[in-house]
Amino acid sequence: MRASELVIGLMTGTSLDGIDAVLVEMASGLPELLQTAYLPYPAALRNTLLALHVASSNELHQAALLAQQLAQHQAEAIQLLLDKAAVSATTIRAIGSHGQTVRHAPQQGYTIQLNNPALLAELSGITVVADFRSRDIAAGGEGAPLVPAFHAARFAHARLHRVILNIGGIANITDLPPGKPVRGFDCGPGNMLLDAWAERHLGQRYDAQGAWGATGTRNAVLLHRLLEHPFFRLSPPKSCGREQFNLAWLDNLLGHSHDHHAPADIQATLLALTATSIQRAIVDHCSNTDEIYVCGGGAHNTALLASLGELLPHIRIHSTADLGLPPDWVEAMAFAWLAWRTLQGLPGNLPEVTGARGPRVLGAIYPA
């Protein structure tokens, strides 16, 4: 294969679990998945990243050191991917590296994804494209979500009204009505609170298939309080992150409650929060949806998918695997595609999704 046909996509999402790496072929202009690799974050790295989400002393120094560590970890993930694919770094046109989000404040004009693309280019010997979100924010946009542009290119149907639902740490939707503009926005917490609560009480990074939460009973009063978060009242375009939805916010609400909550009941209620906020977003903003296709880690949460099915009984719910893309790798593929568009001088954002003043070429290029 020619070097110009192969691109690597790296995604490190708000779940803070590790690095998703994909190798894709871009000969057709849309990525064809060739190989995947996953490298989990070591516990120490993950804990330090979590700590950086809260203001502390000397955080500029800590962020710079973490960016270097992340570059080293990304280089390991890339080598693992190349070894699995039995290809050389010299055959790769570019790496699309999202970086690890530690602050997202578009209303204040910035977003921060920890990354060291210059170091990654040195370590890998491959051109790196990074910093995708900043240009959209500079143009007045939210800088997120960016994947709807890829969803539209890959999943839109001429007759069926589809919604692509990505359930990562944050849940976001892409609305694909036939013959109408694409829309997309964050609709609230996906796995973020579920994972944090499970880690606190189970000592595990997530509640596998939602099994523990399924043993609990949803608390209607608490769910109502959770859904009163101001973010849910905002109209799209909108985006969110750990700044809005975190354990400190949850603990504050629980502290004001006079009822005793068993941990499994809280987990059941948090699952209801994710499902209900998704359901409301689709009902309010994606009328007459025919099909929902789910990607991200939440696609494996059978309890969550069952709850969505109950809340949206008239809409067919599938995995993106049914459209040819495994749900765990869609976002990494999207950033490979965005890197490709950057190299071609093509815009990567959708102004109707992010609220930017117009289409923009995203990202910065760090040549090998």
50 burial (CB, 10 Å; 0-12 / 13-18 / 19+) is middle
Q: How far apart are CA 322 and CA 145, in angstroms?
A: 23
Choose between 259 and 305: higher pLDDT. 305
Q: Is the pLDDT of residue 2 over 70?
A: no
What is the length of the chain?
A: 368
66: left (phi over 0), alpha (psi -120 to 50) or beta: alpha
Q: Residue 100: beta bridge partners?
A: 12, 114
pLDDT in tens, 192-237: 999 999 999 999 989 999 999 999 999 999 999 999 999 999 999 9
SS in 3 state form for 213-237? HHHCCCCHHHHHHHCCCHHHHCCCC
pLDDT in tens, 264-292: 999 999 999 999 999 999 999 999 999 99
Q: Residue 11: beta bridge partners?
A: 20
Q: What is the pLDDT of residue 1?
A: 44
Q: Does domain 3-143+329-366 have CATH number 3.30.420.40?
A: yes
Mean pLDDT of the chain, nearest integer: 94
Asked if 3-143+329-366 and 147-323 have one fold, the answer is yes
CB 155 within 8 A of CB 320: yes
CB within 8 Å of 18: residues ≥ 6 apart: 12, 38, 39, 40, 41
| Phi–psi pair at 351, nearest 5 degrees | -55, -35
CATH of domain 147-323: 3.30.420.40
CB 337 within 8 A of CB 125: no
Confidence band, pLDDT 50/70/90 cuts, at residue 53:
confident
What does the domain layout of the chain look like in residue ranges? 3-143+329-366, 147-323
